[in-house]
Structure 1
Amino acid sequence: MVPYSQNIPGTEIEFEMIPVPGDPYRKIQPFWIGKFEVTLREYREYAAMYSVFKADRTRPDFTEPDRVDAVSAPTEVYNPQDRFAGAESLQCPAYSMTLFAAKQYTKWLSLLTDRPYRLPLESEWIKACKAGGTGYFWKDDQLRKLAFFNLETEGVQPVGSKAPNPLGIYDMQGNVSEWVITSFPTGRPGREERPSTKHSEVLPPVWIAKGGNFASRLEECLPAHRFTITEDEWDEEATFPNSVTWLGSYSDRTKIGFRVVRQLGELDKVEMSKFWDVANPSYDELIEFKLESGRGARGSVDKETFGKMKDASENMQAWID
């Protein structure tokens, strides 16, 4: 396993992936993880798919895609200058999306590249964050070399602005928190499977973000700390934009982003569905209801998509002035 760069097909955008050794004792397989958090520039290409999927649905030959091949894209951001007011450029980490939207981004990316991308399990995230050390005894001056935290800045900063950790991974702590997976569906109604992680007692309806953000205290940035959101808090979703894939007005939730992991092996869409889909059946029903009522759009990602992506991105409103 070596570092590599991945192009997002249909664009000129590339991102870098860093290998992380496995841990047989904790049943963690080797994996690659994003050198940086997913940026607004990268995420914007996924968000542009809303107009592609919406236009596709008006075609006379349109057929509803099979669930395993379908990707959900968010509605347009109502006011990007307000939503991303703290970001100075598209090189800032993407933030202010739900766990569902982050998972759908990884599905979109996987289907475009034919590679198995997903969010990290919490155990994988901790492994990458510690980078071979314990990570629990960092002091303020040590962490400031790696992270923006404790209101050193008033908003998110471009990725890679601080030093990398010993594995060459940037911004694992501070700046924005990062979504992780703590459980996933088994295919049995109402049942979830717990992945191998020291925090395996946590199941939905609790969602977990790691690493702290630019406003977090030092202890909130350490590998063991969790930022949790309950199912009830999703009901506070903002009216604008009218989409289940964007967060509400609660300030801490606007400081969550994510980075991607690539696991070993070839892309198996059925197997990967447990990482892309929603673990909580009631939340899955809510997403279906909102998609049917026009919140977001669902469509297929294939070679025909490549040609449409550029036009959709160019015609989309600017996110950062």
Structure 2
Amino acid sequence: DPGVTFESGDDPQQPAVMMTQYAARQYTKWLSKISGQFYRLPSEAEWEYAARAGSRTAYCFGDDPARLDDYAWYYDNSEDRTHRVAGKQPNAWGLHDMHGNVAEWVLDQYSAHGYSALKDKSSAGKSAIQWPSEPFPLVARGGSWELGAEDCRSASRLASDDDAWKEDDPNLPASPWWHTSSPATGVGFRIIRPLAAPADEPQRARYWDANLVEIEEDVQARLSEQSGALGLVDEALPEAIADLPAR
């Protein structure tokens, strides 16, 4: 529904919201193919490391939520909408909006036990990811314009719920690409380009493609109904688009 998707305006500097984690992963695949670089969503551990920027406090700037207005759009100051990115102060590493505005998808399955599930694993790379084994709950981090200061802490975690987040979806089955209902109205994503890309396509695909049979079946059903389409993407695509005759 464009009335919901663009309820905060259609400014291109507004954060994108309401996509599923799968759709966000597919965007990183598209961007990687069209640019020749490797992009993906961050893991939960990578996201928090970047958000904290060396801090050990509740927020990147300290423990006092009274200072959050300087760093985040959240329930108390957002006026019930998202805002242009980078409108507040960055953290110590120059990253904006790690607190508030929109929560951000990460790769991980949500676990109430948090990082304790990783205690016997290496802290490096894919070993520090809780790869999803169920469609939800997945993790979004950072809090959003519709959440309070407590939910914007560096350690705060938001668990997705497809049943609730797609409650207003008129499609049956519900879209594998979009959510329709709050709090998904405050969920977007941030991408990273790691220093070392996975060595081969199967390893890269794990970060990009449907990693659950349920998602793949939903996508194939939509394609068979012509509710979606596949397309070829490579580094030559932008030039090919530019060469199309004007309509």
Q: Could you say which TM-score interval applies, normalised by the shorter chain?
A: 0.7 to 0.9
Q: Percent identity?
A: 32
**Equivalent residue for 1:253, pick from 146, 171, 184:** 184
Secondary structure at 2:230's aligned position in 1?
strand
Q: What is the match of residue 72 of structure 2?
A: 147
**Alpha-carbon distance in structure 2 between the residues aligned to 1:180 and 1:211:** 11
Normalising by structure 2, we get a TM-score of 0.79
Cα distance between partner residues in 2 of 1:228 and 1:311? 44
Look up the equivalent residue of 1:298 and give its one-letter code.
L
Aligned counterparts, 1:65-84, within 5 A: 79-84=1-6
Residues 182 and 203 in structure 1, CA contact (< 8 A), matched pair in contact too: no
In the other structure, the counterpart of 2:115 is none
CA contact (8 A) 2:33 2:235 kept: no
Is 2:40 the counterpart of 1:109? no
Q: In the alignment, which residue of structure 1 is the partner of 2:116?
A: none
The C-alpha deviation readout for 1:88-133, integer Å capped at 9, x for no partner, is 6211111111111110110001011111100000000000000011
- How far off is 1:311 after superposition? 8.2
Aligned residue among 148, 161, 175 for 2:87: 161
Q: What does 1:298-309 align with in structure 2 at a 5 Å threshold?
A: 298-309=230-241
Aligned residues of 1:211 and 1:223 also touching (Cα < 8 A) = yes
Mapped pair 1:210 → 2:141: yes
Counterpart of 1:130 in structure 2 is 52
Number of paired residues?
A: 223
**Change in 2 beyond 3 A, CA 1:277/1:88:** closer
**Paired residues of 1:107 and 1:276 also in contact (CA < 8 A):** yes
Alignment TM-score, normalising by the size of structure 1: 0.62
1:40 maps to what in 2?
Answer: none
Unaligned runs of 5+ residues in structure 2 are: 110-120
- Give the direction of change, closer, same or farther, for the CA distance of 1:295–1:157 in structure 2 (3 Å limit): same
Q: Give me the whole-angstrom Cα distance separating, in 2, the residues matched to 1:81 and 1:127.
A: 35
- 1:171 is the counterpart of 2:103: no
Higher strand share: 1
1:93 maps to 15
2 CA distance for matches of 1:155 and 1:140? 20
Identify the match of residue 277 of structure 1 among 201, 204, 209: 209
Q: Which runs of 5+ in 1 are unaligned?
A: 1-78, 184-193, 316-321
Q: Separation in 1 of the partners of 2:63 and 2:144? A: 16
Q: What is the CA–CA distance in structure 1 between the aligned matches of 2:8 and 2:142, rounded to whole Å?
A: 19
Deviation at 1:82, TM superposition (A): 4.0
User: Residue 114 of structure 1 aligns to which amino acid in structure 2?
Assistant: G
Aligned-partner Cα distance in 1 for 2:161–2:228: 22
SS in 2 for 1:254: helix
Residue of structure 2 in register with 1:290 after alignment: 222
